[in-house]
Amino acid sequence: MKKIKSLNFKFLVFIGLITFFTACTDDLTVTPKDDDEFSAEAFYSDPASYKQFLAKIYAGLAVTGQNGPAGSADIQGIDEGFGQYLRGLWQLQELPTDEAMVSWGDPTLPELNNHTWNADNRFVKAFYARVFYQVGVANEFLRETTDAKLASRGVSDDLKAEIKVYRAEARFLRALSYYHGIDLFGKVAFATENDLVGAKPVEKDRAFVFDYLVSELNAIDADLKAARTNEYGRVDKVAAKMLLAKLYQNAIVYTGVNKDTEALAAINAVIGSSYAIANVPYGDLFLADNDRSAVQSEIIFPIRFDGVNTKTWGGTTFLIHASSGNWNSEMGVDDGWYGLAARKEFANLFSDLTGGADSRAIFDSGSNLTISSVSDFFGNGGLKVKKFKNRTSAGLIGSNQTHVDTDFPIFRLADAYLMYAELAAKGVGSKATARGYINTLRTRANAAAITSDADVTLDFVLDERARELYWEGHRRQDLIRNNKFSGSTKLWQWKGNSLNGASIDAKYNLYPIPQTELNTNSNLTQNAGY
C-alpha cells in the first residue's frame, strides 16, 4: 500500500518556521496550527521523529495539511485543492501551452490559458507560497538535525548515520522547490537553514540560485543512497543527477551561459545507472499500480498518492477527475469534472488519435479539436486526454474512486533519453546514440522507428518530447528553452487570447512575483513587464 507515514505529528515544532517566508499576508497565510501544543524537545525525544519530519517534507509535494484531503491546512486563504503543490506546478507548466487548457471559470484561472495573468493571479500566488513553504520546512529540518543538536539529544551513532541520509534528501527536496522557483519566477526569496527564523528573506537572481543548487546537488551526492536502493518514492543519487541535468540543460535560460557539456555528463550518469525503460505498455506508466516493480525501474522520482492514506483534491486526483467527463468509469473515478483538454496543435503531433500508429496517443478519438470558447465548461472542445487513470494494469479500479492511487512521475528515464537527444541535435553527444534512445521509446509505443541520424533535429526532438512526456509538467519549460513560447514562432489556440493564436510578450516567459509578496517583503522586486 502506498503510504506516507506519520503525518499527524504535532506541528507546534514548526512555530516561527514559515513566518520567515512572507507568504503571510491577509489573504494567503502560511501558519501551521495544532491544538495539541508541545515542545520541540519533547517531539525529538522519540527517535522516530526525524523520519516523521522528513516524511512531512515529502508529503508537502502531495498533501496540503494535517487532515487529508482537507483540514488544518498548511497555507491558509486558498482552497486546499487549488493550493496543492503538484496541481499548482502542473497548471503553471501546462495550461499556458498547446498541451492543455482548463475550461473552468474560477477567478484568475482562465488567465493561465491565454497569457493574461498578472501579479494578483491567485493560482500564481498559491504556488509561490507552496514552493517557499516547502523550502521553509526543509530549512527547519536541517536546523534541527545539526551535529550539535543531535549530540545534545544523545542520538545514537546508528541513528546519526540515518539522519545524515535524511539531511541529504531534505537538501534535494529544497533544491527541487528552488528549481521550480527559478524556472517559473526567475529571481526568488532566498533563505537557508543558516538564516534566522523570522528574518525577511533576501532576493537572489537566477544565476545565484543556479550556482547554489549545482553546489548543493554535488555536495549531497556522497550521502544519498545508490540508485534504486532507497525506499520507492525517496530520493537517491540518480534523482540528484537528473535534477542537476535539468539545471544544466536550462542554464542558457537561467544564466545566459551554455552548460550543455555539463548537462551531457549528468544525463549520461542517469542513463548509465541501474534505472531502465520499463518493459510494460506505455499507458501502464500512468495507472493506479504504477508503483509496482515493473514500472519502478523507469520512474526516478515520483510524487506518491494513495486513495486511502494520501488524500488530496490536487495531484493526480485533480488530473484524472478534471480530464474526465461522462467517461469517468473508464478512468476509474466516481465523477468527471469536465475541465481539462489539450489543444489541436498538440493533437496534430500524432498522425492519428486512436493509438494505432503510436500507443502514446491515449485520447478520445471523437474529440472536437476546436476550442471555440475558453469557458466551454462541459468540455465539448479540445482533445480529451485519457493518459492518467485510476485503474490498475489488470483493469481494476484503485482503492478509492474519489481520491486516486496513481503516482506522478516528476522524473523518469525516458525524459533523460530525450534530453540526450536534444543535446545531440545541437551537436553535443552522438546522433546515432540519440536515434537509438528515441527508437527505444518509439518501439515501446508501437510507433515507426526513425531511420536516419538526420532525423534527430531540434524540432523533431521537441515534438517527440511532447508525444512521450505530455501532461507530465515539461512543456512550458521545453518551449521556452527552444525559443518557441513567447513571440510568434509557434502559435496555438488561444495563445495571446486569440482563437487562432497570437504573439505574446517575452515577459510571459516568467510569472510575476505575487503583489502580496512585494507588499510584505521590501527586499523583493517585480519581474520586468509586470
pLDDT above 70: percentage of residues in the chain: 92
Q: Is the peptide bond before 201 cis (omega within 30 degrees of 0)?
A: no
Confidence of residue 367 (pLDDT cuts 50, 70, 90): confident
The conformation of residue 18, written as its DSSP 8-state character, comes to G
Fold of the domain built from segment(s) 7-206+503-530: 1.25.40
What's the pLDDT score for residue 18?
40
- Does residue 15 register a pLDDT over 70? no
**Range from 31-45, 473-487, 511-525 carrying the lowest mean pLDDT:** 31-45
Q: What angle do CA 7, 9, 15 make, to 5 degrees?
A: 115
Rg (CA), the chain: 22
Domain-wise residue ranges, the chain: 7-206+503-530
Q: Is 30 left (phi over 0), alpha (psi -120 to 50) or beta?
A: beta
Q: What is the pLDDT of residues 174-230, one digit of tens each?
A: 999 999 999 999 999 999 999 998 899 999 999 999 999 999 999 999 999 999 999
* Cα distance between residue 530 and residue 510, in whole Å: 10
**Cell 535524511 -> residue:** 166
Contact criterion met (CB below 8 Å) for 357 and 396: no
* Cα distance between residue 30 and residue 34, in whole Å: 13
* Cα distance between residue 138 and residue 205, in whole Å: 21
- Closest by CA position to 296, among listed 275, 317, 314, 311: 275
- Closest by CA position to 190, among listed 131, 119, 247: 131
Distance of CA 142 to the CA centre of its chain: 23
Q: What is the pLDDT of residues 386-433, one digit of tens each?
A: 999 999 999 999 999 999 999 999 999 999 999 999 999 999 999 999
What's the pLDDT score for residue 119?
98
User: pTM of the predicted model, to two decimals?
Assistant: 0.94
| Mean pLDDT over the full length of the chain | 92
Confidence of residue 71 (pLDDT cuts 50, 70, 90): confident
- Does residue 56 register a pLDDT over 50? yes
Question: Any bridge partners for residue 408, and if so which?
Answer: 303
- Does residue 10 register a pLDDT over 70? no
Confidence of residue 373 (pLDDT cuts 50, 70, 90): confident
Q: What is the pLDDT of residues 266-286, one digit of tens each?
A: 999 999 999 999 999 999 999
Q: Which three cell numbers stand for residue 358?
A: 503510436
Per-residue b or e along 417-436, where b marks 16 or more CB atoms closer than 10 Å to that residue's CB: bbbbbbbbbeeebebebbbe
Secondary structure (DSSP) of 68-124: SSSSSBSEESS-TTTT-HHHHHHHHHHTTSTT-EE----TTSTHHHHT---TT-HHH
Q: How many CB atoms lie within 10 A of CB 499?
A: 14
Per-residue b or e along 383-405, where b marks 16 or more CB atoms closer than 10 Å to that residue's CB: bbbbbbbbbbbeeebbbbbebbb
Q: What is the pLDDT of residues 301-352, one digit of tens each?
A: 999 999 999 999 999 999 999 999 999 999 999 999 999 999 999 999 999 9
* Cα distance between residue 141 and residue 193, in whole Å: 8
* Cα distance between residue 246 and residue 219, in whole Å: 17
* Cα distance between residue 194 and residue 500, in whole Å: 50
